[in-house]
Amino acid sequence: MVALQLSDVRVSFPGLDAPVLDIPRLEIAPGENVVITGPSGSGKTTLINVITGLEKPDQGTVRWGDIDLVPLTESQRDAWRATHVGLVMQEFHLFPGLSAIENVLLPVRFRVFSVPAELRGRAAALLERVGLKRHDQRIETMSRGEMQRVAVARALLGKPAVLVADEPTASLDAASGAVVGDLLTELADEENATLIAVTHDPRLASRLQRRLRLVAGRIVEDTAQTAVPPTAASAATAQQGQVTS
């Protein structure tokens, strides 16, 4: 388990007057649950990309434990991500023509020719854990909620220290979103993984311990809310209108 430490991180894009990300300092402790909210265009996806090494900042350090991702090459960052990060994105990035379990095992397939029985067993156990019984069902025949659950199982296969989710419930109906959100938080807890989620979903947000809000690329820590039981939290959040985009 490693801590995340960002220092003096800036990301700019041509044609924009101000940096899309400007973070003097941010620390996330190992095992912490963090929700990132903020208006459209405030830099949430850019922040996710920077902390997972998908994108390099123009300046600054992005340190996970002893490793600073910034000086690494793209292939070194890819290797680091494959070992340490489970990613759950709004678009599921699943492969049609393959079964649910083959999709869960796909990251391993890229690395080894034959999948060890132990990993196949873990993939099956994860599918059971996310409530999917038909492991051989082809992915394109599954509902969106089921596909997202396959994506959650795939993200957890390698026992990542860090679970990162970008709008994991956005394209799901309320019931499926609730299932996926609950699974993410429960599984992150069980695996002692750090969970960082970008979401506008008040129910998911209410389940996470720490709340960061991005405003024009800068982080505003919201200490007003801490995790409370989901039902009460959803009601309270809806009343207060605090988790908005």
Residues that bind ligand ATP (CB under 6 A): 13, 20, 38, 40-46
Helix ranges (DSSP H) in 110-173: 117-129, 144-156
The nearer residue to ligand ATP, 143 or 244, going by C-beta atoms, is: 244
Between 137 and 171, name the residue whose CB sits nearer to ligand ATP. 171
Shortest separation between residue 53's beta carbon and ligand ATP, angstroms: 15
Q: CB of residue 134 vs ligand ATP: minimum separation in angstroms?
A: 33
Rounded least distance, CB 75 to ligand ATP, Å: 20
Closest to ligand ATP by CB, 42 or 99: 42
Q: How far is the CB of 37 from ligand ATP (least distance, A)?
A: 9
CA diameter of the chain: 53
CA 33/CA 27 separation, integer angstroms: 12
Query: What Å distances lie between residue 36 and 56, 69, 75, 132, 208, CA to CA?
Result: 19, 21, 27, 29, 10
Helix (H) or strand (E) holding 203: helix 202-206
Least distance between ligand ATP and beta carbon 100 (Å): 28
- Quote the tokens at residue 228: 């409370």
Q: Encoding tokens for residue 146?
A: 């089921």
- Which residues lie closer than 8 Å to 34 by C-beta, 6 or more apart? 28, 194, 195, 196, 197, 208, 209, 210, 211, 212
**Distance in Å, CB of 52 to ligand ATP, minimum:** 13
β-bridge mates for residue 68, sequence order: 63
Contact call for residues 94 and 103 (beta carbons, < 8 A): yes
Q: Which is nearer to ligand ATP, 44 or 210 (CB)?
A: 44
